[in-house]
């Protein structure tokens, strides 16, 4: 998403596909913020300014979804929480980009502990959607979590 025009191109494609909400990983935008391009609003959380443009998470919201947004919280470059209202109540989205299997056990444990803390930012009666990349490994190896049909 660092390339000039990439946010506009993505917004045009999401609009064409009639996608209301999309979680994005590896957006590579620094800090946290909001921007708009072609009727889509981007909420993002990335690495602090001055660090390499790696990682980062974002939500792309169409106009109706953005109007339903009540609050959002940029947690870090791997987690972002957004709360919405809808005709039947409220719902929360947790955008996720989990560490890969190659990450250290400490990194993975810290991520999942932080994810558990983040879930406490959502009201227990809200519908909860976790969108993103949990970096599951699929394939023919029967010992993998997803299994051979992944």
CATH number of 120's domain:
3.60.10.10
- The model's pTM is 0.83
Question: Structural domain tally of the chain?
Answer: 1
Give the domain extent around 124.
6-133
pLDDT at 134: 85
Looking at the domain assignment, is residue 129 inside a domain? yes
Q: Which of 19, 12, 44 is nearest to 31 (CA)?
A: 44
pLDDT at 2: 80
Return d(Cα 68, Cα 75) in angstroms, integer. 21
Chain segment 81-106, per-residue pLDDT in tens: 999 998 888 999 999 999 988 889 99
If you average pLDDT over residues 46-50, what whole number do you get?
A: 84
């Amino acid at each position: 998403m660092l390339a000039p025009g990439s946010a506009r191109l993505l917004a045009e494609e999401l609009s064409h596909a009639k996608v209301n909400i999309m979680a994005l990983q590896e957006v590579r935008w620094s800090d946290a913020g909001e921007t708009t391009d072609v009727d889509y609003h981007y909420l993002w959380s990335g690495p602090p300014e001055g660090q390499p443009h790696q990682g980062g998470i974002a939500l792309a919201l169409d106009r109706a979804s953005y109007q339903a947004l009540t609050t959002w919280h940029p947690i870090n470059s791997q987690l972002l929480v957004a709360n919405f209202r809808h005709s039947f109540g409220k719902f929360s989205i947790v955008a996720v980009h989990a560490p890969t299997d190659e990450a250290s056990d400490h990194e993975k444990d810290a991520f999942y502990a932080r994810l558990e803390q983040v879930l406490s930012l959502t009201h227990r009666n809200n519908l909860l959607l976790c969108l993103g990349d949990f970096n599951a490994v699929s394939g023919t190896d029967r010992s993998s979590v997803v299994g051979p049909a992944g």
